[in-house]
Structure 1
Amino acid sequence: MKRTRTLLTIGLASFVMQSVAIPTDGMGANDNPLLQKSGILFNAPDFSKIKDTDYLPAIELAIKQNREEINEIVNNKKKPTFENTILALEKSGVQLDKVTSVFYGLTSAHKTPVIAETEKKVTPMLTELENEIKFNKKLFERIKYVYDKEFKKLKGEDKRLTEVVYKNFVRSGALLPADKMERMKQINIRIAELQQQWGDMLPEATNTAIVWVTSKQELSGLSEADIAQCKKDAESRGGKAPYCIVITNTTQQAILTTLDNRNLRKRVFEASRHRADGTRQFNTFPYVVEIAKLRAEAAALMGYKNYASYSLEKTMAKTPDNVYSFLKQLIKDYTPKAEAETKAIEAYAQKTMGANFKLQPYDRFYYSAKMKQEAYNLSEDQIKPYFNIDSVQKNGVFYAANRAYGLTFKERKDIPTYHPDMKVFEVIDKDGKPLALFYSDYYRRATKRGGAWMSSFAKQSGLREQQPVIYNCCNYAKAPEGQPTLITWDEVCTLFHEFGHALHGILSNCKYNTLSGTATARDFVEMPSQFNETFASIPEIFDNYAKHTETGQPMPTELKEKMLTSINYHAAYALGENLAATCLDLAWHMLGVNEIPSADEAAEFETKVLREIGLYNEQIPPRYSTSYFNHVWGGGYAAGYYSYLWTEVLAVNVADCFEKRGALNPEVGQDFRNKVLSRGNTKEQLQLFIDFTGMNAPDPSGLLKARGL
């Protein structure tokens, strides 16, 4: 019954919170555009009419309505049945889902001061409602009666919905005795408060970690376009110096690849690594420790040894032992390759810097890039002109979806958005019928958190007669007015990745909202997105979008072959930073309440964990350090960050099936659509995988090969 939005790829923001008074102006349901049908296709939100001040009264009214709906179910005098209990519960909260789906889209992508203040007010309201529903004894008695008496007789999605609803209530603590149930309520409230506070502090910490640069000479190595971006970023952030380097959400910063000034590289790396660990202005460790303790306590109340055991029970992996077994084999195979890679980069740097030169983490990207350029006679400046973001989207991402699934995309400039940078597309199915709306919001701004993600303004549901209204958000630097926005290969892959999530929502064909779209286990939901990345390098698709932004000519064959061959150059780093972050996440959630370190000990705990599992490497730090690991402390990936690697295995297996049967064969795409993308959580996810691939279980043997290792 969780009402807050769980986003798929979590990052950081650059936004300073302010205290704002929110006028409510007495608006009622008849006046509030959020509570009315918009008149737009699929009842998409009409942002031309919605004001920031509309959200609070709309959510308050929707909460009131949802309470009335729950009371009606509970007070029904008739014997509990699927129809009057499970189905009635599924039909409840439609208005609240509608309003909060739009609201939480803005809290991540366009958090104005009014939206930020509203979030502070509605978070405890929604947590209270969630507790009321999850711990409603009479409601659960009715659900349990249906589960005990009718479950075996039910079929299809009715049966799956009953199972999911019942188990969700049980996992929330519905079977706990009164005293433990009360404590669980308190834990839920406090975690919600802490995550709200985390969400306020981390963006501010990242914004404050900006590295100011006084002269253009210090930016030696950057292209003129990148220098212009640093100037633009400085102007938009107060102009304390002529230029600035903005810190992005991950530990390593892509700009270190080309920055000649070693001292500046160090400043950027240190600003990133220490943005929120207390060595600067901000310290998130107190939030980390308290959230970890509360999660451990909640797991103990439910009878589990630790939170990881509790959380993983509902995933494909099932247990921490299974996850660690998977990770330890990867670590074993990865370690010698990482060591060899580091030695090679350091030896290369010593050729110009002297035999005593010691490679530092802020040097790695710089010298690796030079080695790559030397090995392949290739530079980013040669490649980027072929990756115009508009062409990548329309001639790459959309073209692949057309070839694989028969979808076409019609831009709808008449549909309002919450920001002028956004675009809206009507998605049309192969039969010519409108299927969905898709919004893209690709450029960074101060009101948007970092990273890239997919979510929905409305999920698909046959029962609700609702077609999907889906969006993708990214954080690319927008080119100056009149110039094309050029992106890197990694950013190209991100567009394909996030659109893979979007397709999971767009192609959903489920009866129930609870089961539709991306409502799957964490260690399955990243599979469609990671698989969709494989389309980016298929020759027919690549050649269709990778055209020079000025001449319109396709990338020359020699350059294309060099670029695609070089993709996995020095690939150990990417795997290592992911493994390190994954093991940190698991380590925090394998602890009992009394084993959680203090805030002052948190940094030391991180080092200890990485040393013990064989991943402590100053050259390859975690992709996210504990103090800014938003997936885990602010998002929905607690004890679940391993899912990126786990689902990469699934994606490699699926890609192999596509390749064998024809990567762009419409019959294969339709089969994948029918058996996976359209099915949401209507079946166990392992069964969906088996249904499409014909394999009895995932095969991890191809992962390292796919990564070039």
Structure 2
Amino acid sequence: MTDAMTLPATNPFASRSTLPFEMPPFDAIRDEHFRPALEAGFREERAEVEAIVSNPEPASFENTLVALERAGALLNRVSTVMNNLSGTDSDEFLDELESEYAPKFAAHSDAILQNTRLAERVQAVANDPSLAERSSEDQRLVTETLAAFRRAGAFLDEASKSRLSEINGRLSSLATSFEQHLLADTNDLALVVDSREELAGLSEADIEAARAVAKERGLDGKFVLTLVLPTSQPIMESLEHRPTRQRLFAASRARGSRGNEHDTRAIGLEMVKLRAERAEILGYASHADYVAEDAMAKSAKAITERLELLVAPAARNAAAEQERLQRFIDQEQAARGKESFTLEPWDFAYYAAKVRAHDYAVDAAALRPYFEAERVLKDGVFAGATALYGITFAERHDLPVYHEDVRVFEVSNEDGSPVGLFMLDLYTRDSKRGGAWMTDFVQQNRLENKPTVVVNVLNVPKPPKGMPTLLTFDETITMFHEFGHALHGLFGQVEYPSFGGTNVPRDFVEFPSQVNEMWMLWPELAAKYARHIETDEALPRETIEKVRAASLWGEGFSTSEYLAATVVDHAWHTLSRAEADAVTDVEAFERVALERAGLLNPVVPPRYSTPYFQHIFAGGYSAGYYSYIWAEVLDADTAEWFTKNGATRENGERFRREVLSVGGAKDPMEAFRSFMGRDADIQPLLKRRGLSA
């Protein structure tokens, strides 16, 4: 469109990138390029939409649906880069830009999705009998697009649409504020430690990483332990110094709730109330019902029933583990001639690891030398994908990246044909939000002849130069998990942008990533990558078997902390508008919700508490945190299938063809049935998590 041409040729967003795979030209992008490109992108897409609704020709699939899919190319280019950088390498400028444009994006989206004339054209295409002659993907595009208009309020009266736009704009601004407040408080609460003695139990690499962070912050001679997103910090598993564990846990739990300028509680509460009001306007009983309708679950009631099935046995198992840990502490203290103490939440991971080592001969800390990051990546994650799918990886050093730590790999099929680019952003930094995720910079679709560029973002502490990066067991799982998302994005073979990559229901999107976790301990693969950093000795097969045997130990805790967070999310978002308006105390509400569910256990707190529950207030998972366990039903069933039928190229190709490549172009349960030949069975999940009767 002509508006893009109002941008000077020097603006890198003005046209599609000429770099391989349309990699964004990060070396050419400057702060001053964003605002002009965003404004031009808004103008361009508005003009494209106006051209569609003003077309004197009767509505058709091509002049309405296809034209709508092509619209917004410029805005997509600039917003994709802006959104990614805001999460991975933010600064004051990007914070201000995101805050300024979040409500503008919401208003722009509403202007399109609430456009009654446009919605009526889509409705006309849906009513056209000739639609039945088109491909299943074409038919699904019409159905899904029409549903998006209805769910945005396109067929409501003008007053309702106006209020919805106000709510969406405010929610967008609040989500940005929540993320920025949480990042600032997380950085502020990083634990400063004065001596090495207080870090006893940590590896030398961890200690040196803490020293390096302190030095960066001008705290020479001290150590700084940065916080990751979940309540339970991974290094508490190794920290022998109990007061340090307690301080670290207290810092983790304090995020967003200290009553300072970074407090997130009022933000979250306002978001809950606005979501409930929006749901009411759109005709839903709650925000959870609104979200579930567009997911596999279909209703909040179905989610409640699934949670009720899992909560009681998980809480029972967690209580049994708690009792076992207390006995272990009592015995250990008695053997030392010391008075025992009561197990606290900051003790759980540490003593769970000691019991695992004692009862199952599995020492989590002793496993780390076998998980050197480079080898995990190339001989584990990549090699597993090569064995299953035939793809290969070649590192590219000639392409620009947004941060010096980011690496780029070109991915090719077995026959040498291109798949896309995979980027890895491994290390934590103050400019990066917590957690781990996958997203795309360029999303495959045949309509626009688009390739694929995806990035995995993790938060692994960076060791000093010259020292290896040794991953924890959980960090290794995370690397495999996030690469499962990357494969989902890389393998997409769809016609339309709306269906590209991971554009699938929220409670399906975690399925491929969780399946990819199973390869971490697949014996043949582990023998290649899990090798001791000093001796090159392979992780003994008997150790792998011990890890598998010990897998149920701790599942009570991990399942309960996950379900507790899920219950918190579900409780907030099943409120009606009137119920939400009546809530004033965030902590009291959360406490009551957990007590009602049978999960109010101070020793097993939720994985995320409301003030730092980024997933639901700034991460797109509102009323959707249940999706991990929902998708795990499919994952556990699929893992059992691969175990029975083998990790062969033929079976990998089947999974790629039936599940990973179809994106959102096919109903997710149809895709699952195409792969498995039947509906999902919940029993493998119950067995995996020790929840069977």
- What TM-score bracket applies, with the shorter chain setting the length? over 0.9
State the alpha-carbon separation in 1 of the partners of residues 653 and 540 from structure 2: 33
Secondary structure class of the residue paired with 1:35: coil
More displaced stretch, 461-470 vs 240-249 = 240-249
CA distance in 2, matches of 1:533, 1:511: 29
Out of 174, 183, 187, which is 2:167 matched to? 187
Residue 71 of structure 2 aligns with an amino acid whose one-letter code is S
- Trace 1:42-191 onto structure 2 (pairs within 5 A): 42-150=21-129, 151-191=131-171
Aligned counterpart, 1:512? 496
* Counterpart in the other structure of 1:533: 517
Scaled by the length of structure 2, what TM-score is found?
Answer: 0.95
Q: In structure 1, give the amino acid aligned to 2:689.
A: R
- Is contact 2:353-2:364 (8 Å) kept? no
The answer to whether 1:649 aligns with 2:633 is yes
DSSP-derived class of the 1:34 partner: coil
For 1:144-177, what per-residue CA distance to the aligned partner results, in whole angstroms no more than 9, with x for missing partners?
2112225444332111111111100101111111
Q: Tell me which moved more, 453-462 or 365-374.
A: 365-374
Q: 1:289-368 counterparts in 2 under 5 A?
A: 289-353=269-333, 357-368=341-352
Aligned 8 A contact 1:427 1:436 in 2 = yes
Structure-1 separation of matches of 2:247 and 2:356: 24
1:239 aligns with 2:223: no
Q: 8 Å contact 2:206–2:463 — kept in the other structure?
A: no
Cα distance, 1:551 vs. partner? 3.2
Distance 1:708 1:653 in 2: 15
Structure 1 runs (4+) greater than 6 angstroms displaced: none
**How much does 1:35 deviate?**
2.1
Residues 565, 606 of structure 2: 8 Å contact kept:
yes
CA distance in 1, matches of 2:690, 2:524: 22
Partner of 2:683: 701
User: Which residue number corresponds to residue 7 of structure 1?
Assistant: none
Return the alpha-carbon distance in structure 2 between the equivalents of residues 282 and 304 of structure 1: 33
The CA distance in 2 between the partners of 1:702 and 1:104, in whole Å, is 38
Query: Does the 8 Å CA contact 1:587/1:609 hold for their aligned counterparts?
Result: yes
Amino acid aligned to 1:52: D
Letter of the 2:144 counterpart: V
Q: Does 1:668 align with 2:651?
A: yes
Q: Does 1:278 align with 2:262?
A: no
For 1:52 and 1:397, the matched residues in 2 are separated by 35
Q: Which amino acid aligns with 1:681?
A: G
CA distance in 1, matches of 2:437, 2:24: 19
For residues 577 and 381 of structure 1, the distance between their equivalents in structure 2, rounded to whole angstroms, comes to: 22
For the 8 Å contact 1:278–1:284, the answer to whether it is kept is no
Structure 2: which amino acid aligns with 1:692?
F
Question: Equivalent pairs: percent with the same residue?
Answer: 38
1:436 aligns to what?
Answer: 420
- Aligned residue number for residue 479 of structure 2: 495
Deviation readout 1:629-686 (Å, 9 max, x if unpaired)? 11101111111100000101100111122222212x1111111111110001112111
Aligned 8 A contact 1:580 1:623 in 2: yes
TM-score calculated relative to the size of structure 1: 0.93
Cα distance in 2, alignment partners of residues 507 and 145 from structure 1: 33
Shift of 1:388: 0.9
Q: CA RMSD for the aligned pairs?
A: 1.8
User: 1:260 Cα deviation (Å)?
Assistant: 2.2
Q: CA deviation at 1:195?
A: 0.9
- Contact 2:249 2:346 survives alignment (8 Å): yes
Which consecutive residues of structure 2, in runs of 5 or more, have no partner in the other structure?
Answer: none
Give the Cα separation in 2 of the matches to 1:550 and 1:29. Answer: 55
Unaligned runs of 5+ residues in structure 1 are: 1-25
Moved more, 275-284 or 203-212: 275-284
- Name the SS of the counterpart of 1:244 in structure 2: strand
Q: How many residues align?
A: 682
1:68 positional shift: 1.3
- Residue pairs, 1:527-566, within 5 angstroms: 527-566=511-550
1:600-619 equivalences under 5 Å are 600-619=584-603
Does the 8 A contact of 1:201 with 1:284 survive in 2? yes
Question: 2:398, 2:210 → 1: CA distance?
Answer: 34
The amino acid of 2:687's aligned partner reads K
The answer as to whether partners of 1:289 and 1:598 remain within 8 angstroms in 2 is no
Name the SS of the counterpart of 1:456 in structure 2. strand
Cα 1:609–1:381 change in 2 (3 A) is closer
Partners of 1:518 and 1:475 in 2: how far apart? 22
Distance 1:235 1:417, change over 3 A: same
Describe the superposition over 1:231-265 as per-residue Cα deviations: whole angstroms up to 9, x where unpaired.
11222234287112212110111121122222221
1:249 corresponds in structure 2 to 229
Output the CA distance in 1 between the equivalents of 2:340 and 2:466: 48
Distance 2:258 2:71 in 1: 44
Deviation at residue 30 of structure 1 after TM alignment: 1.6
TM-superposed deviation, 1:407 = 0.5
Mapped partners of 1:29, 1:701: distance in 2 = 60
Query: CA–CA distance in 2 between the matches of 1:459 and 1:37?
Result: 13
Where does residue 560 of structure 2 map in the other structure? 576
| Residues 379-427 of structure 1, C-alpha deviations (whole Å, 9 max, x = no match) | 3342111111111111111111111111011111111111111111111
Deviation at 1:550, TM superposition (A): 2.8
Partner amino acid, structure 2, of 1:206: T
